[in-house]
Amino acid sequence: MLNGVAMPGNSRIPSGAIHTHTSIPQESAGLESSAESTRKLDDVDRKLADSSNPEWERHITLQGIPVVPVPILPDLSLVRMPEEENVKPRKRKASAIQILTRYWDNRAPMHHFGQEADWLYKRLSSGQHKTRLVMPEGIRPKGKRRSLTSTPTWEGIVETWLGMEASDRASTLEKTMKHVTLPENDTRLGLRGQSGVLAASDIDEFTVLGPYLGKYCHGQDLQVEQGIHGHNVGRYAVDCSMDTLRLDLCGYGYGNVTVCINANTTYRPGEPVFQDNAFFTMVIYRGWPYIYVVSKQRINKGEEILVDYGRFYWLGY
């Protein structure tokens, strides 16, 4: 499934992979002189520098949704010198990356943290607690749905979800959204056999379907998640940055069925373009950012729920 979301922002902040110095284990380096060993290390560092990828940038979608693609760092254990060709290679350990076959759960908690949990709690709890709402441009609820633009309405929505037990969150989500496996004849070639989300009942326009949940990641947390789950982490990373605080919401392995919502198009030549019928919005309540999925128009039971990720999202893949 090709999926990913993030929140409005106007900046393009570089996010590059950390380069660490490479050394060759003594058993691989042989018994050459110190000068010869130093030369080999310099050669290895030079080759890695020549082949390293340029820094990733945040990509901002047409709806102002930046997504942070996370590159997979090179496996430095594969670096070998020509003189080592006749040396019997050591048996490599099995990959530690865990690919989840079921990477979501409707009972997922509203708050999940990484190693920076204590720091984030102190930082966000001590910030300004005025409720803020950030919606995509062009979204203008009218009539009885106009209240969806007011912060008191969203305070009530957030409090309702915070007060739910795990079983209540699951049953509420299941009333409106149903996970499916897309058929092998789907016109979107890259999505055949992948996950998707259908409306489990008729949904009126501007209906809050539920929160997009995940692990709040700060500092090295996102790279730690990448080391556990691989490249998929970047596809489900939501940018919840506020003011000077860099914060990402990682849904892969920690979210609910909303992480399975697909894009209406990949913006690639020849790919079909469907009407997007839902969008993401961010609510900052008591210092904490929350992401919610909202219907953009009426969605009939059995129709697929789709969100426009925007052109720039697909540049990372």
Q: How many CA atoms lie within 13 A of 75 on its CB side?
A: 10
Give me the mean pLDDT over the 272-286 stretch.
94
Q: What is the DSSP letter of 253?
A: T
Q: What is the pLDDT of residue 91?
A: 53
In this structure, of 47-56, 179-188, 205-214, 285-294, the range with the lowest mean pLDDT score is 47-56
- pLDDT at residue 311 above 80? no
Q: What is the pLDDT of residue 126?
A: 76
Fold classified for 1-9+21-317: Beta-clip-like (2.170.270)
CB atoms under 10 Å from CB of 209, counted, come to 23
Q: What is the pLDDT of residue 144?
A: 86
**Per-chain mean pLDDT for the chain:** 76
Give me the mean pLDDT over the 246-274 stretch.
91
- pLDDT at residue 64 above 80? no
What's the maximum distance between 2 C-alpha atoms anywhere in the chain?
A: 81
- What gap in Å lies between CA 273 and CA 11, rounded to an integer? 28
Percent with pLDDT over 90 in the chain: 43
| Domain locations along the chain | 1-9+21-317
pLDDT bracket for residue 234 (50, 70, 90): confident
Q: What is the pLDDT of residue 66?
A: 39
- pLDDT at residue 279 above 60? yes
User: What are the φ/ψ torsions at residue 56 (nearest 5 degrees)?
Assistant: -75, 150
pTM: 0.71
List pLDDT tens digits, range 72-103: 333 333 334 444 445 555 554 555 788 888 89
Q: What is the pLDDT of residue 121?
A: 82
List pLDDT tens digits, range 3-54: 444 443 333 233 333 333 333 333 333 444 445 544 544 554 444 444 433 4
Give me the mean pLDDT over the 212-233 stretch.
90
User: What are the φ/ψ torsions at residue 99 (nearest 5 degrees)?
Assistant: -95, 120
